[in-house]
Structure formats: structure tokens, C-alpha cells
Amino acid sequence: MAGTFGATSTTDDVLAGVDLSGKRILVTGVSAGLGVETVRALIAHGARVVGAARDLKKAEAATRELRDEARNGGGLELVELDLASLASVRDCADALVWESKPFDLVIANAGVMACPKSKTSDGFETQFGTNHLGHFVLVNRIAALLKPGARLVNLSSAGHRFSDVDLDDPNFEHTDYTEFGAYGRSKTANILFAVEFDRRHKANGVRATAVHPGGIRTELGRHMTPAAVQRMLDQVNAANAAAGAPAFSWKTIPQGAATSVWAGVVASPDQVGGLYCEDCHVAELSEGESIRTGVRAYALDPERAMALWAKSEEMVGERF
């Protein structure tokens, strides 16, 4: 069932012949882009999806037509979740726990990118607070609902190569803020969270992984001007050329969502557990200048992962 897939594989390619009937899956960020495509692919193969979104009206409009593609009992239920508010995160998690219906897969898809310096409602730097801490609390609060054989897929990014986490100054109180420096920290945190979650839960048959969807034109880049996007592409292509790598090319949304569903339901658990995936395969360690492929060693460091977990518990005031 695993097949051979790559950068141009789509969600339909990787799920061809896969029956997800009876599977219950949580996907965050289902009001646009990758989240909507992920839901479409999963329910088309029979999964029952709980889709979480900050703006339920927007999510309802974005997913209305998807319900017609549901097969073999597949369907979608929407729940409210604002990852930039721990009160909202806890309310969402508590409601799911009260319902007591187990999950086969959680895809932590929602996020923000390269936004101006700002804070969440709890006072955290927005990108770290939304992309990492919101999901950290949500997933840990519903961890008991993950049945043996379940998986957690955290959406990270090649942007993790911009920067490691800074456990001494996570909110940029003493460090100069840069949009992509903050984004890199949050995406590294997504990987480290998967590493430690996998270590803690694999004895119970629950595995975790992180994925890079690729470069896709979605609402995620709404804070970037066309000039900023071009500067980033110029830098990437210059680094790729110096490393002898191909020039950057955009993925389609179905290609971008493919690695999430591949890592979540197609790849074997031992293949992806505690690791970082891209282009529907496990990424290799890479310390070169190119940011097109590969994973930095600091993002898979188990000691760093444990330290981030402890710092995250301290920041949110909750132990898991």
C-alpha cells in the first residue's frame, strides 16, 4: 500500500485504493488551502473528519461542496478552535474529550506565517503561540482519545531551517524580531514536539511525525508582499544553484497536502515515527545552504525536544 511517491504526487495518488471507512480523523485549519484539500481527500475515502477552524462560517463555506465527495460513510463535522487563545483551545479539547469518541489520526495543519510582530491573547509571540503552543495544548489534552495505532502529523516547513527554537527567549523579549526568524522557530518546534510526543506514546502504539508540505500558494502567505515573496525565491534559488540543486517550483494544493495524508495513513508507523517527512518520503539530514530539501539536526535532537516540552508546559501552565 505504501507505493512510491514524490514531490508531484497528489492526495488522490497516495490514497488510491485506500479505504478509510470507520476511521475518525481530526484536522485543524479547515477553512482554506491545505486543510480543505486534506478534508476532501480523507472523506472521499470514507473517513469521518472533525474539522477545526477559528472562523466557522468561513470553514462552512469552504467545505460545503466537499460533502458531495464523501464516500463509504465519510463525512465532516466542524468545531471551533482559535489556536491563538488557550481558552478556546481548552474549550475545544474539553468538548472532544467529553464526547469520548477516539481518533485514528490528528493532523495539526493550521498555522500562520511571517506575520508582523504581535502577541496571542495569552501574551505569546504569535507564530510560536499559534503554530506550536496552541497545538501542544490541544493534542496533549486529547491524547487519551488517540487509540493504539493512531498517529499525530504536525505540519512543519522547510522554514524550520531559518532558526532553531530559543528556549531562553521564546517571545522575542530580548531578541530582535524577524518575521521568518519567528516562523522558523515555530516550525522547528512543530518537529521537536512530534519527536517527543512519539517518544512518550510509541509504547502504546501511538506515533507522531512532522511534515513539510512544500511551497504552495495559499492564504498562509497573506502577510507577505509580492516583493517579499520574490526576494525569498531569489534567495532560495541562489542557494539551490550554489548547491547544485534544481530551481524552486510551486506545488499545487493537492500536491502539498499529499505528504500529510501519506504520513498519516499510508506510510508504516515505524517508517515515519519521530521523523520529518517531505515529498512523500522521510527527509535526510541536511546542513547545506539549500533550504529546498532536508532537515536540520537540531530539529530532531531528542534532548532539545524534551527541553522544549518542559518549556512549553511552563509557558502554558499545564503539565502533560
Buried b (16+ CB within 10 A) or exposed e, 227-260: eeeeebeeebbebbeeeebeebeebebbbbbbbb
Per the CB < 8 A criterion, the answer to whether 272 and 153 are in contact is no
Exposed/middle/buried for 101, CB within 10 Å: 0-12, 13-18, 19+?
exposed
pLDDT of residue 4: 86
pLDDT of residue 233: 62
Nearest in space to 20 (alpha carbons), one of 105, 96, 109, 110? 105
CATH number, domain 11-315, options 1.10.1270.20, 3.40.50.720, 3.40.47.10, 3.20.20.70 = 3.40.50.720
pLDDT of residue 230: 63
Q: How far apart are CA 186 and CA 173, in angstroms?
A: 16
Listed in sequence order, the residues at least 6 apart from 277 whose beta carbon sits closer than 8 Å to its beta carbon are: 209, 210, 211, 212, 259, 262, 263, 267, 283
For the chain, which residues score pLDDT lower than 50? 1
Per the CB < 8 A criterion, the answer to whether 111 and 29 are in contact is yes
pLDDT of residue 246: 67
Q: How far apart are CA 223 and CA 127, in angstroms?
A: 12
Domain residue ranges in the chain: 11-315
Q: How far apart are CA 158 and CA 278, in angstroms?
A: 9
Q: How far apart are CA 155 and CA 190, in angstroms?
A: 7
**13-42 residue pLDDT tens:** 999 999 999 999 999 999 999 999 999 999
Q: How far apart are CA 62 and CA 188, in angstroms?
A: 29
Active site members: 156, 183, 187
Q: How far apart are CA 118 and CA 131, in angstroms?
A: 14
pLDDT of residue 1: 45
Cβ neighbours, 10 Å, residue 19 = 12
Buried b (16+ CB within 10 A) or exposed e, 293-305: bbbbebbbbeebb
pLDDT of residue 72: 86
**203-217 residue pLDDT tens:** 999 999 999 999 786
Q: How far apart are CA 81 and CA 141, in angstroms?
A: 14
pLDDT > 90 fraction of the chain, expressed in percent and rounded: 82
pLDDT of residue 144: 98
